[in-house]
């Protein structure tokens, strides 16, 4: 691809602002713009006009079908394609697309999880156009980003609550800005998600049923060479991977996705892609698309893109970093320290809002990234711990300390700072990103939430982040709006928040055992290790109250979401358990037995030739392998019992606890024996490709 084509290529498959402005009449464009920016309802004629132009544009760009594209709670995106054709009286067809079809769709919702919502409310669901995210063309189909709801308006997807959370933070942040006299029509949060993934060769992948069925390896002894050399990071990108990345960029750019940097990651075969940040809602759609396109492009290059959080035990897993900030339509980043004392006080207040939100709703942030896959990473010395804390860096910490203690901050004039009156010193941003072990780090003008798993939708954590920060801002606005002396009240408020939420601030090593002890025993922070531990907190009274008050979720939606997320967890592990049983019974045990037979045959043959041979290697290997087959048999039986017992449990809270306490430990034990047997068995007799073959499969 020639470089000069990039600007032309970029967004060429997107019905973006450029296309709208060029193709829609001035009136129609103005109404649509109002809908996009200010959430004003679109009237039917305007919708018809938009639909007509969207269709014409799509057909000119090769589309024959359209679909409402949405994000059900399964974690993937869903689409149902309809063609534009409609019969004409002369026996031919016309290509038609109405405003109605653009605005609303009725997919067969019965196959998507609803956690009892549809049963309770209404049998069908509908999709509704989200004009704030541009329509695009994929696979000859015009895709219209939509929200997915039940007929009574209960959200069945991730976009709806995300949009609601963005409205919540907009409402509250505007109240604060008004107090400072800062001009803004609206406030939006922005996100830049850094996406990690693995690439393995398709042929090697095809030989591993565990990867095929579950996305991760359920067995596998460590290769002699793992990531200990740390040489993969920023190393030379292999030619085949390079071709993949070039192709991927091209596909993403066509879809208007701002793919910006890509590099190798820590583990062999691991890579990362980071886009330039955009509005949270758009970033979420783009990240879902990015994951889909990554898989598709990998397969074109004879590879498989693994988005699982922990495809290989003993090797770093894949996460996603959610870089998040709040900004105004007038171009102010509210998390960027300002130049005047007033701007600085405003910055500190927003900073406080985030600190308080993370402390008050640690559990919501933790559960927003909880999945069976991500449970393998968090707290495993490769990713942040399951304990949530905030990293601010030396300079900002010192500034907050000075405010808290009414002491001068070194480097300022020798006065005790009064916020809103005195400047806080400016500080550089590059000193802030050193500590990679913190789950929630301030990085100069944004916060980076690092606990997400690679396959997570970023919608979930941003819903919680937006909502909980909206709650802090609401409390501040309530207090400050009624204050007699704004500056004094502001100063007192900031000082109080810093003091009250000190426990969530931690700049030290998040991977250490000492931190876990201090966090849980001294500071009283929550340490929700697994999905089964975390998810039920969605229904804690304080969490329900906050999320409902800001109109992000209804009670029924929370109930259903909690159940669906736990169902996803237990189903995932159940499939893994069944896959393990299958592989052990059909492949591993017979393979070890074949090898044992050869050893036994060799030994007796050798001994029959000469009475002097000892056959130490053959005999000792046989003895240990034979013990291992007994252990494998016992543990596969134990796992089968667990899988049977699991079937008899129908309460999802009970079954998720069972999965955590019984099934996962049984799987771990079984794996241990099989992996030991792998080290004793000839590679020719081993039924599946080894870790070495997988991790170094792409040349
Ligand atoms: P790095 O983490 O490699 O130092 P950056 O800090 O530039 O790189 O950005 C990492 C990610 O954060 C990118 O996706 C970038 O677009 C995003 N990002 C940068 N500024 C902001 C911001 N103000 N709000 C949200 N995301 C941002
Ligand atoms: Mg980062």
Q: Which two tokens stand for residue 387?
A: 């304990």
pLDDT in tens, 84-95: 988 888 889 888
> Which distant-in-sequence residues (6+ apart) come within 8 Å of 93 by Cβ?
85, 86, 87
Cα–Cα distance, 379 to 357 (Å, whole number): 22
Q: Which of 114-128, 482-496, 501-515 has the lowest mean pLDDT?
A: 114-128
Instruction: Spell out which residues line ligand 1, taking CB within 6 angstroms.
Output: 190-192, 194, 274-277, 323-325, 333, 433, 443, 445-446
Q: Is the pLDDT of residue 428 over 60?
A: no
Cα–Cα distance, 133 to 144 (Å, whole number): 8
Amino acid 59: pLDDT: 95
Amino acid 268: pLDDT: 87
Rg (CA), the chain: 28
Q: Which helix (H) or strand (E) holds 340?
A: none
Ordered alpha helix ranges (H), 535-615? 541-549, 555-583, 589-609
Cα–Cα distance, 309 to 372 (Å, whole number): 9
Our mutation pick for probing the ligand 1 site, out of 273, 277, 449, counting the most ligand atoms within 8 A of Cβ, is 277
Going by alpha carbons, the residue nearest to atom 7 of ligand 1 is 276
Asked if 596 and 626 count as a contact pair (C-beta separation under 8 A), the reply is yes
Ligand number nearest to the C-alpha of 332:
1
Amino acid 116: pLDDT: 63
Q: Return the ligand 1 atom nearest residue 445 CA.
A: 23
How close is the Cα of 13 to the center of ligand 2, in Å? Answer: 29
Own/partner pairs for 493-500, CB < 8 Å, 24+ apart?
493/349, 493/352, 494/345, 494/348, 494/349, 494/352, 494/403, 494/419, 495/403, 495/404, 495/406, 497/352, 497/355, 497/356, 498/352, 498/355, 498/400, 498/403, 498/404, 499/404, 500/356
Task: Identify any residues that bridge with 695 across adjacent strands, giving them in sequence order.
Answer: none
Closest CA to 130 of 168, 172, 96, 161: 161
Q: What's the whole-model pTM score?
A: 0.93
Our mutation pick for probing the ligand 1 site, out of 351, 446, 449, 461, counting the most ligand atoms within 8 A of Cβ, is 446
Q: Which of 70-74, 99-103, 129-133 has the lowest mean pLDDT?
A: 70-74
Q: Return the ligand 1 atom nearest residue 275 CA.
A: 14
Q: Return the ligand 1 atom nearest residue 448 CA.
A: 12
Going by alpha carbons, the residue nearest to atom 1 of ligand 1 is 433
Mean pLDDT for the chain overall? 90
Q: Is the pLDDT of residue 523 over 90?
A: yes
Q: Is the pLDDT of residue 380 over 60?
A: yes
Q: What are phi and psi of 176, to 5 degrees?
A: -65, -45
Query: Taking every pair of C-alpha atoms in the chain, what is the biggest distance, in angstroms?
Result: 104
Amino acid 417: pLDDT: 53
Percent of the chain at pLDDT above 70?
91
pLDDT in tens, 615-656: 999 999 999 999 999 999 999 999 999 999 999 999 999 999
């Amino acid at each position: 691809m020639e470089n000069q084509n990039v600007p032309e290529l970029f967004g060429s498959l997107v019905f973006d602002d450029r296309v709208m402005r060029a193709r829609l009449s001035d009136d129609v464009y103005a109404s649509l713009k109002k809908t996009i920016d200010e959430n004003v309802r679109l009237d039917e004629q305007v919708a018809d006009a938009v639909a007509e132009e969207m269709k014409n544009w799509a057909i000119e760009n090769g589309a024959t079908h359209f679909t409402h594209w949405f994000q059900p709670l399964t974690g993937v995106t869903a689409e149902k394609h309809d063609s534009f054709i409609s019969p004409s009286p002369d026996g031919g067809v016309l290509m038609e697309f109405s405003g109605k079809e653009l605005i609303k769709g009725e997919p067969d919702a019965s196959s998507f999880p609803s956690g009892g919502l549809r049963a309770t409310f209404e049998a069908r669901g509908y999709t509704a156009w989200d004009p704030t995210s541009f329509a695009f063309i994929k696979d000859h189909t015009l895709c219209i980003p939509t929200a997915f709801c039940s007929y009574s308006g209960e959200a069945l997807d991730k976009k709806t609550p995300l949009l609601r959370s963005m409205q919540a933070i907009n409402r509250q942040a505007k109240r604060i800005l008004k107090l400072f006299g800062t001009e803004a029509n609206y406030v939006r949060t922005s996100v830049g998600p850094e996406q990690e993934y693995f690439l393995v060769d398709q042929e090697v992948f095809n030989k591993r049923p565990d990867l095929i069925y579950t996305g991760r390896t359920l067995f596998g002894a460590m290769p002699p060479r793992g990531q200990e050399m740390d040489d993969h990071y920023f190393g030379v990108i292999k030619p085949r991977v390079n071709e993949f990345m070039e192709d991927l960029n091209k596909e993403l750019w066509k879809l208007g996705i701002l793919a910006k940097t890509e590099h190798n990651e820590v583990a062999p075969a691991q890579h990362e892609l980071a886009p330039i940040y955009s509005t949270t809602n758009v970033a979420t759609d783009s990240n879902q698309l990015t994951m889909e396109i990554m898989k598709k492009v990998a397969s074109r290059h004879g590879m498989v893109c693994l988005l699982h959080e922990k495809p290989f035990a003993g090797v770093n897993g894949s996460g996603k970093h959610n870089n998040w900030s709040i900004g105004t339509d007038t171009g102010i980043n509210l998390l960027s320290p300002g130049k005047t004392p007033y701007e600085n006080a405003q910055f500190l207040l927003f900073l406080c809002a985030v600190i308080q939100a993370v402390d008050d709703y640690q559990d919501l942030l933790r559960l927003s990234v909880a999945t069976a896959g991500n449970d393998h990473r968090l707290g495993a010395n490769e990713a942040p711990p399951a304990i949530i804390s905030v990293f601010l860096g030396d300079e900002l910490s010192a500034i907050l300390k000075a405010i808290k203690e009414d002491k001068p901050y070194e480097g300022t004039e020798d006065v005790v700072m009064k916020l809103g009156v005195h400047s806080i010193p400016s500080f550089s941003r590059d000193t802030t990103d050193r500590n990679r072990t913190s789950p929630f780090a301030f990085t100069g003008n944004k916060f980076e939430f690092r606990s997400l798993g690679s396959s997570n939708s970023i919608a979930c954590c941003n819903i919680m982040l937006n909502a909980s920060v909206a709650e802090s801002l609401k409390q501040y606005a309530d207090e400050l709006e009624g204050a007699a002396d704004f500056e004094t009240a502001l100063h007192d408020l900031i000082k109080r928040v810093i003091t009250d939420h000190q426990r969530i601030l931690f700049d030290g090593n998040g991977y250490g055992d000492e931190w876990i002890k201090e966090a849980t025993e001294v500071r009283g922070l929550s340490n929700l290790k697994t999905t089964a531990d975390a998810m039920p907190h969605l229904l804690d009274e304080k969490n329900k109250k906050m999320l409902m008050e800001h109109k992000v979720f209804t009670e029924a939606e929370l109930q259903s979401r909690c159940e669906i997320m736990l169902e996803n967890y237990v189903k995932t592990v159940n499939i893994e358990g069944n896959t393990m049983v299958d592989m052990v019974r059909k492949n591993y045990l017979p393979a070890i037995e074949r090898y044992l037979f050869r050893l036994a045959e060799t030994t007796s043959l050798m001994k029959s030739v000469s009475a002097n041979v000892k056959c130490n290697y053959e005999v000792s290997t046989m003895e240990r392998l034979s013990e291992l087959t007994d252990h494998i048999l016992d543990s596969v039986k134990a796992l089968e019992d667990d899988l049977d017992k699991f079937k008899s449990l129908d309460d999802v809270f009970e079954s998720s606890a069972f999965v955590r306490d019984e099934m996962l430990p049984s799987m771990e034990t079984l794996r241990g024996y099989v992996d030991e047997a792998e080290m004793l068995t000839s590679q020719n007799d081993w039924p599946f490709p080894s870790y070495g073959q997988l991790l170094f499969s792409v040349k």
